[in-house]
Chain A
Amino acid sequence: MQLFPRGVILPFQKGKTLMRGVEEMPAPCAVRLPVAMAQAESPIAHLAEDTPLATGQELCRQGDLPIRSPISGTLEGSVVINHALFGDLLCADIQPDGEAEERLPIVPEEELTPESILNIAREAAVYDELDGSPLWQKLQQWKLPQSGRANDCILVADATENDIYGSSAWAVLMEQPRLVLFGLQAAAKALGMSRYHIATLLPRHRRRVLKRAIGRENVYTVEDEYPVTQFADDKLTVYRIGVQACLALGRALKQGICHTSAIVTVAGDGVPAARNIRVPFGTDLSAVLSACQAETDVRLVLGDAMTGTTCPDLHTPLMPGITTVLAMKHQPIRVPKPCIGCGRCAEVCHARLLPYEIVRRLENMHYERLQHLSPADCDGCSACSYVCPAGRDVAADVLKAGEAKGMYLTWGEDDNE
């Protein structure tokens, strides 16, 4: 418990989305799967055009990590696209065709060792949706330093979804709670941790159902505020992975299925009925939006309403790490008014910063005095921008100050725009 709780309570927009469960794409779409950075040599050069591919078939390897075809179809060639978040990417074009599927060999449960679990996580190309990085890499990194302190650490499957629209983690949890728990247990075993739980903010009645399904001790209820900062009891070091990653790991271990699709919440004021939909990686998001009857003159936001990035191009492939896609019609942009000093940004800041003072020093070009306010502690949760009554982009400025790291910012930067 904290004496002065921080954070904001956001509007709840997920009830109807949750009622619908997880839906499938109505028809298979062409897939444009990113395989490498544009500068690199094409890793799929060895594959001839019109090569038939099965779902889960290996296309190439990126380091040790296999890149697997998300759908069954034929390879059409490769193309370079510009992605809003990742820059220029080399993509493989795959046309859907047939229903062939390639699965991994299944290791019996009692023979699973930490090494074999890591191996399967890598071979099944399991991505962690929290940051879009391969789960195998994350687990390997965490495994080394924490050995011997297993009791101080806890592995948490993050199903908080405390943002405004996103509910995909909840949908996954409601659909396959046991498989998620199995995946989480396997990941904990791979790390040698004895403690693990699923941290969630599910509505109460659904939480009760979940607790009945997988056991009370495996569910941890977080505080209903944005952003969530406490995922476990105070004294434990928390390691977080996504619920979808747990599910993918569970499916790979039990059924040999590779991780080739994500469950994405499609919502926003441009979508009449928000829903959770299973989308293969690399699917064009404009196809996903039209499958959800989204309006056409919308702005695509990758990520949820509080932290998402506006994507200028609707034709963007889905990448691991995206669990919410918004089609926004209204632009929340207002002419920012001067700061009147209501202090709400400081009230909601969970990093206990003074956002208004950072912004003021940035505006007045007092760069040398910025660092006293430790703007680098900001994690960009945007709660300050959300509450600002003057409609200022406080969070963006604080992040800018944090990135400057004591360096002088370019003077007159704004004049060039």
Chain B
Amino acid sequence: MNKYLAPHIRTEAKTGHMMMDVLLALVPLGIFSYINYGLRPLIIVLLTMLTAILCEAICCILRRRSLAALGDGSAAVTGMLIGLIMSPMVDYWVPMIGAAIAIFVAKAPFGGFGRNVFNPAAVGVAALTYCFPQQMFTYPAISSVTTLPLEMTLPADSIIVEQSIAAHLQAGAAPALSRTQLLLGDFAGPIGATAPLILVAFVTYMMVRRTASPWTVIPYFVTCVAIAWLFPLSGMGRIYGTVAQVCAGYVLFSGVFLLNDPVTTPRFWLGRLFYGFFTAILVMLLQRIGRVEASSCFAILIMNAVSPIIDRWSWHGLRRLKKLVHRVTGGGVNG
């Protein structure tokens, strides 16, 4: 009967605003990669975003939904994340396949935005890691290039290739980089994952805007740093080893973007805390024993699968604990 339910006034915050906040990352990271590699990385990211949006539109049409659903920006975010995690040398079609997998496999079959179990971007990257490891993990030496050519496939011998930090660490050797170089992102790696200071600044911005929850981000980074500190790698100093491990691979990138996807993380504050904590342990563990650089993507996917359970159990656990405390303290007064 009553179509207009209370409350009769709502906040201005909308789902789209949160996604726009994430899309804003394109500005600093885009400038950073343009300075390093020229236009090529920007084209990669934009093409991936367009593919993701196109795939989302196809899904909307297939599911007889209004195309207005594209306005929430979630497809663009998925595309952007996949694009940012690519090597600047990658062929244009590789991330586009990743975006299509993300939307067609990880998102649409589960019912679209808000219902996906796994983070679509992480699924896309994980699939690419297995299909095209050569393409994904070959990085140009940052000191030797200023502008990458824009052709579809870069000729193999025209560019000096360098190993990423994660590859160095897996080989058990210290990368030949100073600490300043590490912090400023002056090393070979994915388009958007090699700028630690930008990423940390951006996650702070997201926490202030409440797009990212401090309950996940802070435990994640604290645990990552703690593990790197407590279990140092042989052959390098403790502090240097810690910085190198946190900057290596996708550790930072996952903590800033993949970890804060609201759909696949727990929603209760204690659940978020556990989620950040366990993800960090898994990320660091896979970093040490895993074979691929993208280990943090797999860690996130594993944690996505258990996040609803973490969420519920932490809530129930806290309730029970409170009741117990109440009984113990209150019982003394009454009895």
On whether the beta carbons of B7 and A343 are closer than 8 Å, the reply is: no
- Which residues of chain A are near B11, meaning CB under 8 Å? 8, 386-389
Task: Pick out which of these stretches binds chain B: A94-102, A205-213, A307-315.
Answer: A307-315
A386, B8: Cα distance in complex, Å:
8
A299 close to B312 (CB less than 8 A): no
Contacts of B4 in A (CB 8 A): 299, 310, 331-333
Whether A326 pairs with B8 at a CB distance below 8 angstroms is: yes
Q: Are B312 and A385 in touch, CB under 8 angstroms?
A: no
- Chain A residue nearest to B114 (CB atoms) is A338
Which of A30-38, A253-261, A390-398 touches B? A390-398
Contact with B along A350-390 (1 / 0, CB 8 A): 00101011000000000000001000000010100111111
Contacts A/B (CB < 8 Å), 18 sampled: A301-B8, A305-B7, A305-B9, A310-B4, A310-B8, A326-B8, A331-B4, A338-B112, A338-B114, A341-B264, A341-B265, A342-B267, A346-B268, A346-B269, A352-B319, A380-B6, A387-B11, A389-B15
Are B8 and A305 in contact (CB-based, < 8 A)?
Answer: yes
| Nearest CB of chain B from residue A226's CB, rounded to whole Å | 10
CA distance A132 to B150 in the complex (A): 74
Residue of chain A at shortest CB distance from B315? A354
Q: Contacting B15 at CB < 8 Å: which of A164, A340, A354?
A: A340
B18 touches A340 (CB 8 A): yes
A367 and B2 alpha carbons, distance in the complex (Å): 24
Q: Point out which of B6, B8, B13, B262 has the most chain A C-beta atoms below 10 A from its C-beta.
A: B8
Digitize B303-325: 1 where CB-to-A-CB distance is under 8 Å, 0 elsewhere. Answer: 00000000110011001000000
For the complex, count residues of A whose C-beta is within 8 A of B: 46
Interchain CB contact (< 8 A) of B113 among A340, A352, A380: A340
Which of B10, B266, B315, B316 makes the CB contact (< 8 A) with A391? Answer: B10
State which residues 12-52 of A face B: CB under 8 Å: none
Q: In the assembled complex, how far is the CB of residue B211 from the closest CB belonging to chain A, in whole angstroms? A: 8
A298 to B103, CA, bound (A): 44
Q: Is A86 an interface residue (CB 8 A)?
A: no
A394–B268 Cα gap in the complex (Å)?
Answer: 16
B263 contacts A388, C-beta separation under 8 Å: no
B119 to chain A, nearest CB (A): 12
Q: Residue of A at shortest CB range from B308? A: A357
| B262 in contact with A357 (CB, 8 Å) | no
B14 to chain A, nearest CB (A): 5
B3 within 8 A of A: yes
The closest CB in chain A to the CB of B12 belongs to A389
- Secondary structure of the B side of the interface? loop
A300–B111 alpha-carbon span in the complex (Å): 38
From residue A18, how far is it (CB to closest CB) to chain B in Å? 19
| Cβ–Cβ contact A341 & B267, under 8 A | yes
Q: Which of B230-274 contact A (CB under 8 A)?
A: 262-269, 272
Say which residue of A337, A346, A385 sits within 8 Å of B10 (CB atoms). Answer: A385
A347 interface residue (CB < 8 Å to B): yes
Q: Does B48 contact A (CB under 8 A)?
A: no
The reply to whether the CB of A181 lies closer than 8 angstroms to some CB of chain B is no
* Residue A104 CB within 8 A of the other chain: no
B269 touching A337 by the CB < 8 A rule? no
Q: Which residue of chain B has its CB nearest to the CB of A373? A: B315
Contact partners of B213 in chain A: CB under 8 A:
343
Contacting pair A310 B2 (CB below 8 A): yes
Give 8 nearest A-B pairs by CB, closest first: A338-B114, A343-B267, A310-B4, A382-B7, A389-B13, A306-B7, A305-B8, A341-B262
**Among B5, B72, B111, B312, which residue has its beta carbon within 8 angstroms of that of A357?**
B312
A4 interface residue per 8 A CB criterion:
yes
- In the complex, B115 has a CB within 8 A of chain A: yes
Interface residues in B111-138 (C-beta closer than 8 Å to A): 111-115
